[in-house]
Structure 1
Amino acid sequence: MKKLYLWVFTSAFALTACAQQNPTVVKYANLITADDAKKHLSILASDAFEGRETGTPGAQKAANYIAAEFKKLGLEAPVNGSYFLDVPLTQNALKVTAFTVNQKTFEYGQDFFLNGAYPDNNINVNDVVFVGYGTDSEIGSTDLTGKILLWINEDKPQAGTTPSTSYRLTASRTKTIKYLQSKNPAAILAANPGIAGALNRFGKSVTSPRLTLKHAVAKPANTNAPVFNITTALADELVKPVGKTYDELKTASTAAVVPTLTIKSSITINYSTTKSDVKAVDVLGYMPGTDLKNEVLIFSAHYDHIGLNPEASAKDRVNNGADDDGSGTTGILEIARAFAKAKKDGHGPRRSILFLGNVGEEKGLLGSEYYSEHPVFPLASTITDLNIDMIGRVGYEYIGKPDSANYVYAIGSAMLSKELHNIGEQANNTYTQLRLDYKYDDPDDPNRFYYRSDHYNFAKHGVPIIFYFNGVHDDYHQPGDEVSKINFPLLAKRAQLVFYTGWELANRDKRPLVDGKASE
């Protein structure tokens, strides 16, 4: 309700404050066209770039293409004369050599997966502790040291609320995991009915070697208990000795506070990790401003995707990533071209602008995390990040609707700055008249989109952001995410909205007031 009230209020404000169009701004926005966008995206999302996976030649090809375009536009190379900011990464290849329950073997990537990097370990136990939803009242005084825990990875239903049942961790479940890890168990087995489908669809993404930032000073090894995401079929095998199914135990835990249950199941889990260095770069193009040049506006998009499917017999091995996020990268190139032409004509921005192509977003927002920790321009002088991640398609919720070709999701615009939200609204009402949909504009949304793209690494440092997004579709992280399915007029119109918003931010007298706090 609070979000709805904010949306109604700010929308009404923007409508009443709608200004007349500035013909100069319109002139340069009109340089952002469907035809030009198609030229860029047809190259970036071609098979020749092999899905642009971080650390591969395909990603380097994409980085070189973006840098060459920045150079053509006359953008400055701000990293000691280079367009490339090295992002030092380490590849952590997990090998699970054994995962058995009662002598039955389960397979990594088919029955379970593990996120994060952990020290090598061999676990052999003869029982598992079912901890329900992992609340303090369920665990009580039970000693969990060295035990394997079976945990319901869902929000516990509460009266008057709709709990999230997604396998993606909510804020409350993240706290629960930390609480369970504080009890020093050997491992946590997080069961969720969505794991089987996720592994079937995204198996390569969740089981491929993990990339992490390589820090100048090595961080201590992760001594927390590993969290294995498991299917409910695996959970059924774990609880079989008590003569009940996992769903029956979950139902009982949902209905009342049920104490922990120790189940006599023989479990063996052996895993190890090998490490190697990986080369990757962010791509930066810089346009200095005039009288306010010490303040910087960022336009960002990630250029990496998920690469090739491993199956040699697959009909289409290349995950082209035309929408995710070739569309955002294309949008950035088009916006940069519009600003470059304006500057050439004597209408350069008052504030400086950084066009930022991030690497490693699909690996955990790594490129933007590295930039936020090693900024080329101080974050204190960075007024806003306008981040674009997927603006070329129609998402599930809009398929078949009258406004399917005239909307965009806006996320995070009021999280840190209500003024920024109003600026975005007014730019839209004055120029593009897209439907700005705030459905996902909530840090507690079960999809957690606010945390899942590069803007978040700026927001957590107090930089106001707007994240532009079209929603997911059937081809999300699939080989079918191809150029032929992109709605280029819609891509161009969404990019024009980002341009109009950025023009106002780059030229207004004052930077947006920060009056909010980033969600964690």
Structure 2
Amino acid sequence: MTTGKTMAFNRIALLIVLALTSCASQRAAISAGELRNHVSWLAADEQEGREAGTDAAARSAVYLRRHLDAAGLIPAGDNGTYFQYFDIAAPSLEGASTLMIGNDVFDVNTLSASPAQTHHAQLVFADADDVEDMIVLAKSDGEIRAEVREAAANGAVAIVLASDEFVAFDAVPGKLPIAVVLIDIKLYEKLTLDVFNGKVNVRLKADVQKQTKRARNVLALSPGISGEVITVGAHFDHLGWGGEGSLAPGTYAVHNGADDNASGTAVLLELAEMWGANRGGPVVANRGVLFCFWSAEEKGLLGSDYWVENPTIPLPRVLANVNLDMVGRVAESKITVGSASTGDCFGEPLAVMQAYYAANEIDFKLNIMKGSLPGGGGSDHMSFHKKSIPAIFFFSGLHSDYHKPSDDAHKLAYPQMAVLADGLAEFIASLQVVADGFEYHKPQAPVDEEGEVRHVKRANVWFGSIPDYGAEPLDGGMQLSGTSPGSPAEKAGLLGGDILKQVADVEIFDIYDFMDSLSTFNNGDTIGVKFLRDGEMKTTQLTFFPRPVGSAGRPH
């Protein structure tokens, strides 16, 4: 039965839609064919995965600029252009690292992840009682990152590592906390004897020559009357040929990134063209829209973070942000909406978007998250949260092609993407005129039954689940959208749609319970997993084993 409250809401929403009809009628519907064309170009092998700072990413930026310029949008980058340039880290070069003992100087190797440092200190064994402010000596068992971090945690300033196998300069991704030099077994045996027989002072130089390269954001403005703006963004970069961040370890192949994030880029580009003066544009609204195509998101939200620190429009005029990241897997006609609680301003536009679908008898669901995604969602809207600007996130979910060469253009649901884009046009138009609600609400940390803040524990093992962040099972649990190929979860027979209810002795009510459970296991452990499949409770056995070398990040 429809309640009076629901009926009132429906009447209000319908009135809002009717009020905006004159604006909507001036906007041609976005076609699936146009979206497919954009994604097919951006995610083609010729674009080499659009890694930030590469020629391929520059070609993609020029492609975006041409479309924006043709649509009649105003350049909003540096010096009257559409581009905002910034420097990012490039692969480091190995210099001349040395280890000096007395008057003897030995040429040694280092790692690209090592800081470029020089230290003069006593050399001691890594397992010595006191290594504070000393250089430690150890033979690696292959877990270099763990060995270096342990030495740093114990107070060492640097580490000398030996290995039976050759260790390449770029063997360890990311950054290490202390300087590292690598030596051969012959020198290790000599140093072991010297340290065993007495005090040894050494001078260590890790020569890592840091490099930079230029990346660029692409920015275009549709101005409003007040000078205030809404930023609508999507990142257009991806992982290039793989490497760090890839979930296809050891695979050197183009990672096309069709869903991540040629999909969001294509939708944003079509929306920008819709707002362009040369395409008729909507009725000029109170607030303008700044269309932001971010680079270097995959390297740590660098493009959006650079913009909020160096805005091309004064930041006090920026009222809200809308972020589109991975919006192409919408075959089931639903989209997850995260971070809507960061601003009351989003309530009315979301109602307008829903009412638009209802008025046009379109079956498309907005799965509006009540809480925040773990880690906030890990995309460019987080840069705006940092500046206390309300920011909302549209996301169709993780899948087994995430961060792999198999994320290709033919796998996207273009008709449903077009439906989403048309709804987003209504959402943005409403956000341009909504009366108020732009005060930022900081996402609240999850709490337990006693009201204490829940801290997500670090996972100790690889499960291989791909969570469905938009699902909220009625009686609790964590619903899967799939499993990672070759993972413990896949081998245990878990499937997309399954709802995890218990992992070993830990009952699972939400993803936080699940993450907490993974902190208690070790590789080699075999556990029972209870899950719902099509309403029937089932049990399977799952055995943990290490994630393949080179595989990092999501899924869990």
TM-score band, normalised by shorter chain: 0.5 to 0.7
What is the distance in 2 between the residues matched to 1:64 and 1:226?
A: 40
Instruction: State the AA in 2 paired with 1:472.
Output: L
Matching residue within 321, 329, 332 for 1:405: 332
Q: SS of the residue aligned with 2:356?
A: helix
Report the equivalent of 2:222: 287
Q: SS of the residue aligned with 2:220?
A: strand
How big is each residue's C-alpha offset from its partner over 1:205-260, in whole Å with a ceiling of 9 and x where there is no partner? Answer: 996678xxxxxxxxxxx9x6699xxxxxxxxxxxxxxxxxxxxxxxxxxxxxxxxx
What is the distance in 1 between the residues matched to 2:290 and 2:416?
A: 24
Contact 1:94 1:209 in 2 (8 A): no
Question: 1:438 Cα shift?
Answer: 4.3
Please give the residue correspondences for 1:168-183 in structure 2 after superposition, counting only pairs within 5 Å. none
Q: SS of the residue aligned with 1:308?
A: coil
Higher relative contact order (Cα pairs below 8 Å, separated by 6+ residues): 1
Matching residue within 329, 342, 348 for 2:284: 348
Instruction: State the AA in 2 paired with 1:410.
Output: V
Question: 1:147 Cα shift?
Answer: 8.7
> Alpha carbons of 1:41 and 1:343: their partners in 2 closer, same or farther (altered >3 Å)?
closer
TM-score after normalising by structure 1? 0.61
How big is each residue's C-alpha offset from its partner over 1:46-93, in whole Å with a ceiling of 9 and x where there is no partner? Answer: 111111001111000000000111100001112322111111223253
Report the equivalent of 1:434: 364
What is the distance in 2 between the residues matched to 1:206 and 1:33?
A: 45
Identical counterparts, % of pairs: 27
> Alpha carbons of 1:497 and 1:342: their partners in 2 closer, same or farther (altered >3 Å)?
farther
> Alpha carbons of 1:209 and 1:515: their partners in 2 closer, same or farther (altered >3 Å)?
closer
Contact 2:234 2:324 in 1 (8 A): yes
What is the distance in 2 between the residues matched to 1:12 and 1:226?
A: 66
Report the equivalent of 1:414: 341
Contact 1:440 1:449 in 2 (8 A): no
Report the equivalent of 2:508: none
Please give the residue correspondences for 1:266-415 in structure 2 after superposition, counting only pairs within 5 Å. 273-290=208-225, 292=226, 294-309=227-242, 317-340=253-276, 344=280, 347-394=283-330, 405-415=332-342
For the pair 1:38 / 2:33, whether they are aligned, the reply is: no
Q: SS of the residue aligned with 2:340?
A: coil
The count of corresponding residues between Structure 1 and Structure 2 is 367
Listed as ranges, the gaps of 5+ residues in structure 2 are 99-110, 137-148, 160-169, 181-203, 358-362, 446-556
Matching residue within 402, 407, 421 for 1:495: 421
What is the distance in 2 between the residues matched to 1:503 and 1:77?
A: 21
Contact 1:321 1:481 in 2 (8 A): yes
Report the equivalent of 1:118: 115
Report the equivalent of 1:54: 52
- Aligned residues: CA RMSD: 4.2
> Alpha carbons of 1:276 and 1:226: their partners in 2 closer, same or farther (altered >3 Å)?
closer
> Alpha carbons of 1:435 and 1:128: their partners in 2 closer, same or farther (altered >3 Å)?
farther
What is the distance in 1 between the residues matched to 2:209 and 2:267?
A: 38
Contact 2:179 2:206 in 1 (8 A): no
Matching residue within 393, 400, 412 for 1:467: 393
What is the distance in 2 between the residues matched to 1:226 and 1:471?
A: 39
Question: 1:507 Cα shift?
Answer: 2.5
Question: 1:434 Cα shift?
Answer: 3.3
